[in-house]
Amino acid sequence: MPSNLNRVKLVHNSKYQHSGLKSYVYLLNKYKFTPTKPGPYFVGAKAQPKGRLRLGRLFGSKSKTQQVLQKKGKDAQAGNEPAEDQQNDSLYLCPVSIGTPGQTFNLDFDTGSADLWIWSSGLAKSIKTTGHNVFDSSKSSTFKNIKGSSWKISYGDSSSASGTVGTDNVTVGGLTIEKQAIELATTLSTQFQEGVGDGLLGLAFGSINTVTPKPVATPVENMISQQDIPKTMELFTAYLGSYKDANDPDHGASFYTFGYIDEGALAGQTPHYAKVDSSQGFWQFSSTTASVGGKKITRASNTAIADTGTTLALVDDSLCQAIYDAIPGSQYDEQNQGYVFPSNTGVDKLPVVSFDVDGKEFAVQKEDLAFADAGNGMTYGGIQSRGNLTFDILGDTFLKAIYAIFDQGNKRFGAVIRNDPSQDPSVPSTTTTGQ
């Protein structure tokens, strides 16, 4: 391992508030799928101006009338989805230095998107920047503006960020990427203003980057092209921990690595690798079986994506039903648009739930079957419906159970199971924060 490479330690966002419904709404907006289970949110036609939406290439965004997420009012009439209804914050943040001299930003590392955007001094003065690190390009001797380029990401009808594009040096994990394209926010909707983070660093494939008129290379793509990382290790890894794991062997550590695999995290195991289909820009692989309480379920031709920018795991309705049928007292809660189960459910009453990664199943930690307080003595589950999506989204609920290897050079996704012997299915109340 080159001496300049080291762990990028994740910062647990102490202000993060778990909310099952808000996290689900965030995913409805991010992936623009239609719910198949009843609840306050639905997708309906609405007149929209033409424009390029994030993931619009996949789901269609050029028609004047678009299918957008809406919320039923008290009288069952459709209305806009309020900005505060979506989870606006990130559970994990990573420090990244940008510019010369370096300005430090806490960014959300997201394998489900391909933009590197940050708060900038070009934002309107009316936007409160207190508590945020704001990039000032005039203070960096290596910054260069890319004339004529712009970017925009949109999560639903009321959440968007956009701005200008430039290049600068970006330092992460001990290595510096020269002339990396950075997207400077000059407009931020209320949703993006409410989060604690200073922006996002996308780790998906560059084909879904939103910069126009020409997409830009992602940080990992530039690490590879600039030979910042070894030819044999054109990869990054993710080890996502929890405050609940403080007494486990890893003490709840959370980190990324770039250009090497952490031997300590492997714990003597050999990674299992899945071939990745990057045609849609995601870390997508075959996932044709699952197991619930020891019963294997065949899922012909099913695929899944690994998304570090997603807190939940989303699967098809039949598998979702099978999981909660195995938890005593569970039920579908239409008000929360998700499955819930009694908060006093012991670990011994929770089933072992496993997902296939191209030929080998990995079990979700039982404590991560519980995501958030749903009220009335119930807990919002960490696995929910993917609606009409044709693939699973395996977010932190699944990724906390493994050490994940995103091998970009070889187009493969690797995993080894983590050793977290203690399991705590309790969740923070809606009035407290936690990781």
Residues identified as active-site: 110, 307
Q: Can the peptide bond before residue 421 be classed as cis, meaning omega within 30 degrees of 0?
A: no
Query: In a 3-state reduction of DSSP, which class is residue 21?
Result: helix
Q: How far apart are CA 218 and CA 220, in angstroms?
A: 5
Q: How far is CA 160 from CA 14, 136, 210, in A?
A: 24, 21, 12
What tokens does 80 get? 């806009």
Query: In a 3-state reduction of DSSP, which class is residue 28?
Result: helix
| Residue 401 per-residue DSSP state | T
Is residue 31 within a helix (H) or strand (E), and if so which, with residue range? helix 20-31
**Cβ atoms of 95 and 82 closer than 8 Å:** no
What tokens does 351 get? 């089933």
Tell me how crowded residue 220 is: count the other CB atoms within 10 A of its CB.
Answer: 28
Nearest to 389 by CA among 276, 287, 297: 287
DSSP string, 217-233: --HHHHHHHTT-S-GGG
Q: In the sheet that 392-394 helps form, which strands lie side by side, from edge to edge? A: 284-286, 303-306, 392-394, 313-315, 383-385
| Residue 104 per-residue DSSP state | E
DSSP string, 268-320: TPPPEEEE-B-TTSS-EEE--EEEETTEEEE-TT-EEEE-TT-SSEEE-HHHH
Q: Which residues contact 56 (CB under 8 A, 6 or more apart)?
A: 62
Instruction: Provide the b/e sequence for 334-362 (b: ≥16 CB within 10 Å).
Output: eebbbbbbbbebeeeebbebbbbbbeebb
Helices (H) and strands (E) in the chain, counts: 7, 30
Q: How far is CA 159 from CA 41, 156, 190, in A?
A: 16, 6, 7
**Cβ atoms of 276 and 411 closer than 8 Å:** yes
Query: In a 3-state reduction of DSSP, which class is residue 243?
Result: helix
Length of the chain: 435
